Amino acid sequence: MASITDFGLPALQQCFDGLELHEHSGPEDVTVTYHSYRGLLAYVVQTEHCIYAREADARECLRRLLKYNLTWGMLCPGMVFIPILALGNYFTQKRSITRQMRAKTTSSVSPDSK
């Protein structure tokens, strides 16, 4: 029998299916930190995810985690705050991905190529 701590866990694990995520940041990777929320009635679990992936996989994972929060997170006692937290973190991480990609592009342009 599964415990209450496992509630929503299979759906959370599906957020990462089919994506190429890495344990350490590589030269073409971006870093994303996002929190997921799940729970039932009086119980809530917040999990921090540190993701290292290429831009497309990072954006897709971020999208999936937001959708997860807006479904499974709504069953927790903090359901009033979860959409605000989830959307705020989502847009912050999207901007972070854009900044990281811009920095990689800028640093890959050598002064001799101008």
Instruction: Please tell me the predicted confidence (pLDDT) of residue 106.
Output: 86
All residues at 6 or more sequence positions from 45 whose CB lies less than 8 Å from its CB, including other chains = 5, 7, 37, 38, 39
Task: List own/partner pairs for 63-69 with CB under 8 A and 24 or more apart.
Answer: 64/14, 64/15, 64/16, 65/15, 65/34, 65/36, 65/90, 66/90, 68/8, 68/11, 68/12, 68/15, 68/36, 68/38, 69/36, 69/37
Q: How much is the mean pLDDT over the chain?
A: 89
pLDDT in tens, 64-89: 999 999 999 888 877 888 999 999 99
pTM (two decimals): 0.86
Identify the H or E element spanning 10. helix 9-14
Question: For residue 100, how many other CB atoms are within 10 A of its CB?
Answer: 17
> Rounded to whole angstroms, how far apart are CA atoms 17 and 103?
28
pLDDT in tens, 14-70: 999 999 999 999 999 999 999 999 888 788 889 999 999 999 999 999 999 999 999
Nearest-CA neighbor of 65 among 19, 28, 111, 6?
A: 19
pLDDT in tens, 3-19: 777 788 899 999 999 99
- pLDDT of residue 1 exceeding 60, the answer is no
Instruction: Please tell me the predicted confidence (pLDDT) of residue 73.
Output: 87
Instruction: Please tell me the predicted confidence (pLDDT) of residue 31.
Output: 96
